[in-house]
Chains A and B, each alone.
Chain A
Amino acid sequence: MQPEVTLHLSVTEGRVAVLARQLCAAPGGVSNWEHVEQAPPDPIIGVTDAWRADPDPRKLNLGVGAYRTEEGKPYVLRAVREAETQMLADPASNHEYLPISGNADFCRLSRTLALGAGSAALQEGRVATVQALSGTGALRVGAEFLAQHLPASNPRVVYLPSPTWGNHKTIFAKAGFQVREYRYFDKASRGLDFGGMTADLSSAPPGAVLLLHACAHNPTGVDPSPEQWASLLQTTHDRQLLPFFDSAYQGFASGDLDADAASLRLFAASGMELVLAQSFAKNMGLYGERAGALSVVCRSKAVATRVESQLKLVIRPMYSNPPMHGAAIAARVMGDPRLNAMWKEELKGMADRIKAMRSALYRELTARNAPGDWSFVLKQIGMFSFTGMTRPQCELLVKKWHIHLTLDGRISMAGLSAATAPYLAEAIVDVVTSA
């Protein structure tokens, strides 16, 4: 038989087989996924999808939480590129399994970066650290560990700021925590509702977990002042809350790695136990490589050793051991003095550009007599700004001006440039006066 005929027949047979399967599939059997509903699309990712599909040349993507250059391009840090080049050239490099707890150098360097070399907790060896899949992975492993190992008398309750990164709630809920909110963002001032925050935390049950954004709160950009942090420390101590820091923007907020770690170090210096999730997604631009670390600051070295062993028991049935590439890059960048210096300079450059965008937007809004007080644009910190725009106003921004953002009014300053700031200002003035 001609080969084409044989092929044709086999394709036909295949089609008949498909039909047979579909006709004979057991109805109501467990292999039938009829009852599986389509999950709602992720709101943040949906913004980038919509932006991509938008044909208008003026379109802006203010949704994604990834740094963009003035030209609107993603940015791979020079220090990261060099680290990768070194790794590729190293004849000893391989793809062997990391230990369950990950790259030891990376873990050591990460926690030192966060806690500071002078940290008593580090010097006393009482910090348990494991490599994690960026911030999400650190939060999840930490939450699972706490759910399992907090004393029985501790309620499995976590307090999250209102608002917070959407995934926080899902992560803690999956780990078995009941999620409660504490007041945080004050709509009127677009600043911190410190009174509300303190009141809510003061009435939290003892032993509850308290999630804190170390700096550059996501999505609002509103951070407590140093005095407010000191007061929060007192409240945390008085109510015996367990602080769980989410640090995703160290170095990105002010441009200074140490300054951005002040809140965390304040709490650690008090001697209290705390949990820390670190991400290198933004501050090293390692987004897709999933480089992060989870640290648990304990009262003693002996406790830290036991805690680390239990963190490994959470990790092993989840993914066995962490991905090596991102952590290897980060370890090189942090550990090599020249690369470290290069990194700090680039980090400051990124933070400065964000600040420049804030200035630019504020200037343009003021020039157009935008109604109300927009100084919060300058005061808010980090990549995001919570504009306080209503949902209808945001929808108008999308539909009429082709400016894509999440409908909670959060804009990513990283998506702006000096050239596009005027356009955004014009659009904002339009929607807040008409919608």
Chain B
Amino acid sequence: MLSLTRKLAEVAVSPASAATLFAGVPEAPKDPILGITEKFLADSSPMKMNLGVGAYRDDNGQPVVLDCVREAERRIAGKAFMEYLPIGGLRDFISESVQLAYGEGHPVIADKQVAAVQALSGTGACRVFAEFQKRYMPGTKVYIPAPTWSNHFNIWRDAGVEFAKYRYYQPASRGLDFEGLLEDVAAAPRGSVFLLHACAHNPTGVDPTPAQWRAISAAMKERGHFPYFDMAYQGFASGDCDRDAASIRTFLADGHRLALGQSYAKNMGLYGQRVGCLSIVADSARDAAAVESQLRAVARPMYSSPPLHGALLVTKVLQDKELKAQWYKETGSQLTWNHVTDQIGMFAYSGMSGEMVDALAAQHHIYMTRDGRISMAGVNSRNVDRLAQAIHAVTSGRL
């Protein structure tokens, strides 16, 4: 014991005088979306509004927990199982997710052509795919719509995959730049990966029509491009899960071998549970098995196996006829707000400049991302008037 103390004294280094290994580490900028919530939390004004992150709020500005989810929680309470999930996740969860997205009994499912793993919500699905793309589609870029969710760039960058943008939003019309999109699809090198928002495009809320989707599918097939669908709002965009997944099914019908990242953060309100699914449609069962094994190989050194709780909840809801019907009803009812007219989904693209957004925060304690994206989920009957006035004040008729 004495020698130990002596050792300690000999080695003790005074923190104040010793150099830090991390001297060169700069302060990182706050995340453009999640950092807004941080600023909001730090604001002491009782009138503050958080229109940044896409999470649902009721008319009192409180988080919403779906009844079907509460019931599922009650049913799984006291579970005797907390063991590790398999690396690829909960099999029943994966099966339900794939069916929800592609349609029950779809041939690609029946023929075991779908490689699928449980993922850490939408982010995790994108990241596992991006790592897979880096390894198995070397030299390909990911084409990202302009604009898109800000984290898409970070994900593919950290996976070591270069990006390029394709035209999507047309500010002048506040709609889709369809011609520009098709031109960019045609111009991209053959076999590029194209990131598509399956429905309720984030941040614009602008989606292609069914006819436009068919044309995009044909154009991408022509160039041998690989579609990666990011679906974070199935059931929320139109209130109909099948309609919201129609773009994916159109592509499947056209024979695309696609990938899909699904998130249950919004449509089941399971934000913090981090539940999602990554699936890749392959040519054969052999290929699907091999691809799936490689997706697991990405997951193992990242987090070993995905979290259990959220997957159990989703599975409970989707496997139980009553709970599933209740879920359909609850997601459908979110749309009686009539906040958004032409744009679809949770967000409205206001067209405000970064300076106007800054003024909204500084002068009116209203927080949103600097691209002018408003999360309509944060708007309710109590604050909508104040919001309208504040927007008018900072834009002063400039829009």
A residues with CB within 8 A of B: 14-15, 17-18, 20-22, 24-26, 29-39, 42, 45, 66, 74, 76, 80-81, 84-85, 88, 93-100, 120-121, 124, 126, 133-137, 140, 149-151, 154, 167, 170-171, 173-174, 207, 226-227, 230-231, 233-234, 237, 242, 266, 269-273, 281, 285-290, 296, 298-300, 303, 305-307, 309-310, 312-314, 316-326
Contact = CB atoms under 8 A, between A and B. Distances in A.
Contact of B11 (A133, A227, A237): A237
Interface stretch (B163-171, B264-272, B328-336): B264-272
B129 interface: no
B27 A317 contact: no
B18 interface: yes
A150 B309 CA distance: 36
Contact of A321 (B34, B111, B255): B34
B55 interface: yes
B281 to A, nearest CB: 9
B283 A32 contact: yes
B137 to A, nearest CB: 5
Contact of B151 (A29, A289, A309, A317): A317
B7 A233 contact: yes
A32 B310 CA distance: 33
B21 A150 contact: yes
B87 A288 contact: no
Which 8 A-B residue pairings sit nearest by Cβ, starting from the closest? A288-B308, A31-B257, A319-B120, A317-B154, A30-B191, A133-B303, A323-B307, A324-B272
A124 B4 CA distance: 24
Interface of B: 3-4, 7-8, 10-16, 18-28, 31, 34, 37-38, 53, 55, 63, 65, 69, 73-74, 77-87, 107-108, 111, 120-121, 123-124, 127, 136-137, 140, 151, 154-155, 157-158, 191, 224, 226, 253, 255-257, 265, 269-274, 280, 282-284, 287-291, 293-294, 296-297, 300-310
Contacts, number: 299
A33 B137 CA distance: 10
Contacts of A98: 272
Contact of A99 (B34, B108, B287): B34
A174 B135 CA distance: 12
Given A74-B83, A96-B271, A325 B307 contact: yes
B85 A288 contact: yes
A30 B137 contact: yes
Contact of A285 (B11, B23, B74, B82): B82
**Max count, chain A CB within 10 A of own CB: residue among B15, B85, B154, B284:** B15
Contact of A29 (B121, B224, B289): B224
A308 to B, nearest CB: 9
B230 to A, nearest CB: 13
Contacts of A149: 22, 24-25
A95 B272 contact: yes
Contact of A25 (B22, B283, B289): B283
A45 B86 contact: yes
A312 B28 contact: yes
Contacts of A15: 107
A237 B13 contact: yes
